[in-house]
Each structure stands twice: as C-alpha cells, then as structure tokens.
Chain A
C-alpha cells in the first residue's frame, strides 16, 4: 500500500511537519517491536502531543478509511504494536508528562507515553513507587502497560496493572473522548476502566491514566535457595505458597541460566546446582524476619542444599542484578533466542519443566528457564541462530508444543506478554466459540469498524485486510 499524499498532508496539518514520518527508510524501524517474527511497516508514523491531536488523527484515519494503531516504547513481546494492514501508527512517545502527584491520596495522573520507571523515580524520594514492575520497566510506557495489563516480578504480592489503574481518559475509535474512573477509584456502574485495561488497543487509545502510588515497604529480606534439582525447587515453591505466605517475589533460574550468569558475572553460584530460587519478602521490620525464617524452614523440609540471605542492601541488589541481567548472559550463550511466555497451575510446574526438557531433546534446541515461579508463569528460553533456517523451524514447533502443553495442564499461553499477533491462533484452544463471540461483541461496541488495532487479540478480526504474514522466524526476545 502506498501512502496517499492527501492523508500525509492532513496529518501534517494536525501535528506539524516535524512530527510525522513517511519515508521508507525511516518507517523501517517501526516494522516490529520486541517481537520480530512478523513485520509490517506502517504507511505513516505520527507523534501527537495532546489528546486533542489524537482525536483529530483518529477522525482523519476514519475519513481516509485507513487502520491505525497506538505505540508506546515498542517493547511488546507479542507484536502488540504491529501495524497489521499498514495505515497510521500513533506514537505516544512525546506525551510523557506527569500531570499530578498526590501523595496523601496516593495517586498520580500521567500521560500514556511516560516511561514506567520515570514515575517511580519521581516519587521515590518521598518513599513511594509505582508497583507493577515489568522487567522492561526502564523503557516501557504506562500506556503500553494499560493496553497489555502488564505484570512483573512483584505482581505475585502487589497485583498487575489493572489493580493499580483507577481511572483513564481514552480516545475511542470514532474519535470520542471518554473519561472513566478517577482518583477515588471505581464509581458506580460498569467498571469500564477494568474492561479497557488489557484490551491491547482494540477498544481505543489510552491518553491519560490515574494510577495508584504505593508506599515502599519498611523492610525487605532477600534470600537465595540453592537446590540440587529443579523438581525440589518447584516443590519448595508450592510449599511456601501453600503455607499461606505471599512473598514479594519468587523467581526461579535453572542450571543453564545459573551457568551462564556465573560465567558472565561471577556471583559465586555452585555450577552443579539444578536450580536456584530468589525469594523476597517485604513488610514491617517485625514481620519479615518471621516470614523469612518460615520460608527457610519449609525449604529445608523439602531438602534445599543451601539457603543464603542478603545481609545488606548491596547484597540484595547484587542478587536482583543477577536475576535481571540473566539475559545479558544468555546473549553470550547464543546469537539468538526466543522467550516463551506460558502459565501453568503452580502444582504442575514439575510436569511442564520435564516436558520442556523432553521437547528440548526432541527438537535438538537448547532451552533454559528463568521465571516467575510464584504464579506459575514460565519463560522457557529457546536458544538458536537466526541465520539457520532449519533451527528456526524447529524453534517455532518446539515453542508451540510447549504452549499446547500449558493449555493441556490447565494453564494459558501468556502470563504477561499478551496475545498480540503472536498467540492469536491459540485463542480458539483457550476459549469456547461462545466465549470468543461475546468478546467480539464487546469489542464491536467500541470498535465496530475494527480499524483501531486490527487483527489483535481475537482470531476473527473484522475489516482489517490482514495480509497473511509467513511465520518463518521465531524472533529473539529479551525482557520478561
């Protein structure tokens, strides 16, 4: 599709000629986000600065009958920003103001393009933070978090994005501006904010969000459990949660990851350990020691080899660094990798891990694991070389097989990355036809023409004119 000059002129009149791109060379970087399996260049990228400009852009797109899709930092791991069918990409990266911070009532009103961690940075001096902390929080935006209902290591205790967004301003696909909720939380009537969060851009564009600010815990205890094998480690995780303890984070790394991290960063992990689990509890000074002691006891009961405790803030940060920098180490193991995102009930973790190991052998693809163990959210990482076509095909098949197994075990194909375009084919396996029909009907209330974020989330999207894009490439993804 060639971009039409009248469309470009109309958009240029709205945002100014310095704030749009339409040259092929400059559009190229917008052909994909963190998911690089499928690619498609938009015809135009616009950089609005206000809700009013977005309204005009949306109306213009409707007038020219072209699809449009919002984009934040482009860190989606499921192709959430892929401009299926081309059209206009609305980049929200210039809208990043913090409009209001109210610490007494514990909320902030922010622009959609604000980087997640910039909000925490703004309030950290006062002892607050914004709780949802995806590992991409240094780059991803609040608008993108709203669209995908993002999680992170600390969601086990603190909840995901929907638990922290109390109100939003949205531009609906017909250009109407709606305001739902606000600082006081949920008003009477439908929880439209809750409905919108996680709709992956299919209900419209979030242009402002009112979010909760959370007071920093008074104390932390961070521990590292070292296990001989991964089964014992997962049993310990089940025991901890089963005992009614809710750690702030519970992160598992398997032997492959340990060896890679150790080679790169020399943290002093035993190389023969089958798995390590990073456990953090937080709360009042008086309670954290008790909880930490109970966790240690439970780990010893299932047969942990060794428990280590971070004795200082520096040691705590070192442990977290090793978890968060795990990907740097993987980059050293193999030129390309593909991170899968699946969920199983916690008690089925040993089964899925065994299955992953079998799949790894079957396809001759090395797979390592690092994941949010507390909520059964697994992230098998498939290592390969993207220049080798044969490996690529095997990686795609192995990934699909693992996700199908997650469904079979009563789980789901995404814990936090979203459906996007990547996992759209799994939706009919996850939901009944009736379930999907209801979802489509709800979407049609907001997006009857289907031209806002077409072909995302739901398998039979309306008038999107999606070109079949050959899935020939499994992508290389970082950032859980």
Chain B
C-alpha cells in the first residue's frame, strides 16, 4: 500500500477546508482533477442501478459511487492503485448513465476520464508501453478513414464474393489474435466503396440554414450511406451543407484511451477545417463523436499549454455542434411523406441520451414518418456494450451487455432496431447476427431519408 497523507502542515489547526497533498505516484494520477469534483458526490447511491456494470455484477466497486470512492481514496493516499482497483476503473463504460441519475450534478465523466488519462500516463512513465493493439490499430488506424478503408478492402472483397462465410466456417479466423477476431465479428455488411461526398451540397427549396457535416472516421468507413442520407435529409430541410475534406477524427478514441495531446491536435485541425464557412451549426450523426465535439470546451479547460485564441476557438466550436436529431428538432422537420410500414424500436445511445441529454428529439422525428410504429424498448438507455473501443478491450462485459440488450429486443420483437451511434450499430448488428436474429439496424436518419425519397430503407 502506498504511504498516507500524513502531512503535518495540513493538520486541522486552521479550520479552513483542506485538500489532500498529492505525494505518491499513485496520488499524482489525479493531478489534473480539482478535488472539489470528488466532493460533489454525497454518496447517496442513486446512481448505482443506472450503471450497466453494476446491474450485471452487483459489486459496488463496479458502480459509479464505488468508482468515485476508489478514485478519491487513491487521491487521498488511503489505498494504492492496485491492479484490482484499476480493473474496476477500466471496466467503466464511460456511458455517463450515472450523470443522468445523479441528483447532485456530479460530473462523473470529468472524474473518470482525466483519472484514466493519469493512469495511462503513469503506465508510460513506469515504462509500460502501450500494446500493439492500441499502438497500431486503435490509435494508428481507426482515426484515419483512408487507412481504415484500405484495411477493410480485403473484407469487402470477401463479402462481395461470398467467401466471407466460407472463411467463417473454415475457422481460420481463430488463428487471429482475439482482438482482431472480435473486430472481424463486429464488421457489418460493408457498403460498396463509394466516392466521398462533395464538399458542398445546396439546400433544396427555401434556404433555412447553413451547416457543416462532420462525417467521422469509423462511421465514414463503415456507414457512408448514413452520411449520404444525413446530407440529403439536411438538403431536404433547406440546409446548405458543407463537408470540408480537411476534417479529422474527433479525437475521442485518443482522449478516452488516455492520450490527450493528439486529441487536442485533432480538435484544432477540425476547427480549422470548419471555421471559414461561417456556419449556423456543425452536424454530427454519431453520438460518440458528437459528445466529444461538444466536450471541446472541457478540453480547453484541461489542456495547460494552449493559447487564449485556441482556447476560445475550442469553446466556440463546442457550442456550434449539434446532433442531427437535435438540429432537425430545433429547426422544425419538414414532414416526410413516404410511408414506411415497419414496427421498430429505438435504442438510446449512451452518448446521446446521457452525455448529450438527447432523448425525446429522435423519437419525435421518427413519429412523423407515416406508417412507422415505434415500440418502446425496455432498458433502452442501458449501454449495449459497444462503448467505443470497450467492445475490444473488455470483451466479457461487452458480451454480457450485448446479451442483455438482445433479451430486451426480443421482448418487443421489432422488424428493425434504430440507434443514433455507429458503435452501437456495430455492436447491435453483431449481437443480433450471432443470435441468428436477422433484423436490420438503422440510424433514424436512414428512415427519414427513405421516407423523403419514397422508398423502403435498404436492408
């Protein structure tokens, strides 16, 4: 166990509030976190049953209250950052469901995220380098759509020729490292390779807004039709749509993986990409990226060596970002007319419902599609287990949560599942496919687009 905070100068003769002095290496992990953020938690426990990992395990160490207690105890030098402690912190999905449940306004994300960055940096200091997966795949490939598309090319060929099923059957993929095998299992039916969207698409009809479209990296590689649908729906609703080619990954993969410096560099590149067009809003259709883009102002607060001008730009950019459902709801959707006679259910992506508090907007947009029947999904706002790269780094819990989601979907027996986040879509598709349940997963905007065009959504 590490040493305690027996600092004689901090003993209570003076009656003013005392924060712990960070002496040990373990305590230093919390260096970037104002201690007051821990004090926001009054230990009432109302968050516990909002937490997917607590629901699954029943262990308070895997609950938000427990994790805050652990982080605070490490910060105060009461316990060491042992492997078990960091295991409980790593098991957190960062789904922020606890923030929705918390009556005291605890900013849980702003505790766990910087703490995990601290853990990462400490590991590097101690000479524990990142594994091959983080180095080459997670940070080296995912944030770059071009590299990702290239890497997916063999898979596209296999799928096209039908050889993928043969490969699956042959069992040859079992020779792959576990994380790559899981990635292969997660892959959706890849869309045909298509040219990128043009850099400008004009409004149809009366012009109502001027927006930028953030196309994302993983989503652009695997869900480019959804990006195209988003652009068309925006045009239909009277928006000039700008799609700058110089935009980059939002930085979430790095930031959540404990790498804050590259995240800031990507953020500044994105600001540069969008800043010249004088936009009313920057639209994103991926909840995870949207939450990160809206968090740029926290990035501004937490990054020490930034110019005031950059800081201001980060804050301004964050305020411009809107999820597609949020934006269309505010703008006032021009009613789509094409009938889509489907019985569907909607899964709340954590980074929409909890991180961005967007719950009603997508449901109200979907309600305007003629013929569409939206049935409520039990536990719709409990994480599906995707949680960014969590699926690859915490496979056991991801599978348990996937199974939980599957059981809830079975209860309502829909013809399609809807989700506003690429990561959820991958996880849901893979889970449904593994269970032999052949229903499609759509983004709500896919259905809006289909309704505007008077066609059924593509399977």
The residues of A with any CB-CB pair to B shorter than 8 Å are 21, 23-26, 28-30, 32-34, 36, 47, 73-75, 91, 93-94, 96, 113, 115, 118, 121, 136, 138-140, 264, 324-325, 327-328, 330-332, 335-337, 385-391, 476-479
Contact = CB atoms under 8 A, between A and B. Distances in A.
B103 A391 contact: no
A73 B49 contact: yes
Contact of B17 (A32, A75, A385): A385
A196 B70 CA distance: 35
B40 A331 contact: yes
B61 interface: yes
Contacts of B61: 21, 26, 29
A138 B49 contact: yes
A138 B84 contact: no
B17 A36 contact: no
Contacts of B103: 324-325, 327-328, 331, 478-479
B305 to A, nearest CB: 30
Point out which of A25, A113, A140, A327 has the most chain B C-beta atoms below 10 A from its C-beta. Answer: A25
Contacts of A136: 44-46
Given A25-B82, A74-B60, A91-B60, 13 more contacts: A25-B79, A25-B80, A28-B73, A34-B45, A73-B45, A73-B49, A138-B50, A139-B47, A139-B50, A324-B103, A331-B42, A336-B39, A476-B43
B58 interface: yes
Interface string B59-72: 11100011001100
Contacts of A332: 105
A259 B314 CA distance: 33
Given A26-B84, A94-B58, A74 B40 contact: no
B213 to A, nearest CB: 33
A478 B15 contact: no
27 contacts: A24-B79, A25-B79, A25-B80, A25-B84, A28-B70, A28-B78, A32-B43, A33-B45, A36-B43, A73-B45, A73-B48, A113-B58, A136-B46, A139-B46, A327-B44, A327-B103, A327-B104, A335-B39, A336-B39, A387-B16, A387-B39, A389-B12, A476-B42, A477-B42, A477-B43, A479-B44, A479-B46
Contact of B44 (A75, A91, A118): A75
B85 interface: yes
A134 to B, nearest CB: 11
A477 B15 CA distance: 22
B79 A29 contact: no
A32 B65 CA distance: 11
Interface residues of B, number: 43
B46 A478 contact: yes
Given A25-B80, A332-B105, A388-B15, A47 B59 contact: yes
Contacts of A24: 1, 79
Given A91-B58, A331-B40, A29 B46 contact: no
Interface of B: 1, 12, 15-19, 36, 39-40, 42-50, 54, 58-61, 65-66, 69-70, 73, 78-80, 82, 84-85, 88, 101-106, 378
Contact of A23 (B40, B49, B69, B84): B84
B65 to A, nearest CB: 8
Given A138-B101, A328-B103, A388-B17, A25 B85 contact: yes
A74 B101 CA distance: 16
Contacts of B105: 264, 328, 331-332
Nearest to B66: A29
A34 B82 contact: no
A324 B78 CA distance: 34
Nearest to B58: A93
B15 A75 contact: no
A35 to B, nearest CB: 9
B354 to A, nearest CB: 14
A199 to B, nearest CB: 22
A96 B55 CA distance: 10
B405 to A, nearest CB: 16
Nearest to A389: B12
Contacts of B43: 32-34, 36, 476-477
Nearest to B104: A331
B377 to A, nearest CB: 12
A437 to B, nearest CB: 35
A96 B54 CA distance: 12
Given A26-B84, A28-B69, A138 B17 contact: no
Contacts of B45: 33-34, 73-75, 136, 139-140, 479
Given A21-B59, A28-B79, A139-B49, A387 B44 contact: no
A387 B76 CA distance: 13
A187 B54 CA distance: 38
B49 A30 contact: no
Contacts of B101: 138-139
Given A21-B61, A25-B80, A328-B103, A386 B39 contact: yes
A312 to B, nearest CB: 15
A47 B39 CA distance: 29
Contacts of B42: 327, 331, 336-337, 476-478
Nearest to A77: B44
A72 B50 CA distance: 15
A390 B378 CA distance: 49
A47 B73 CA distance: 24
Contacts of B70: 25, 28-29
